[in-house]
Amino acid sequence: MALRDDFPPAGSDYMGGECDGYEYKTVFSGSTLEKSYAMVCQFLKEEGYSDVPLPRDARELAKFRLPTRNRQILLFEDNGYVHNPVKIIFPTDSRKRSTLILCLYNESDPQHLLRFHRRLL
């Protein structure tokens, strides 16, 4: 069954990613940003997220990268593409520039929208 329909429980290690029951996070690292993004798109399609709008290609995705290196700003902004329930984030550390972090959120959580947008106190 697809991840979107059967979200992994807390502490599970689904397909090499980590899940806390609400957020599933995994890393894609190809030899180029284009290859990493293609892997992300294929994963999303296979896991039931094909209806979520995504950037057309890696070049368009790169336009969502924040132009700052100030880590304080990056604490409050997602450095990448965000469209509920998907976040495709560029890492802020020294990983290869072709690495992408994919975060998927459990839409069945009663406070999903507040948690997704970091508005839950």
The widest CA-to-CA distance across the chain, in whole angstroms, is 40
pLDDT digits (tens, 9 = 90+) for 21-74: 999 999 999 999 999 999 999 999 999 999 999 999 999 999 999 876 666 655
Asked whether the beta carbons of 15 and 26 are under 8 A apart, the reply is yes
**What was the pLDDT predicted at 81?**
96
Q: Where are the domains of the chain?
A: 18-107
The pTM (predicted TM-score) of the whole model is 0.90
Contact 54, 81 (CB under 8 A): yes
Cα separation, 13 vs 40, in Å, equals 18
Asked if residues 98 and 32 have their Cβ atoms less than 8 Å apart, the reply is yes
User: What residue has token string 């429980």?
Assistant: 9
Give the chain's mean pLDDT: 90
Q: What percent of the chain is modeled with pLDDT above 90?
A: 71
Considering just the CA atoms, what is the radius of gyration of the chain in Å?
Answer: 14
Convert the pLDDT of each residue in 73-113 to its tens digit: 556 678 899 999 999 999 877 667 899 999 999 999 999 99
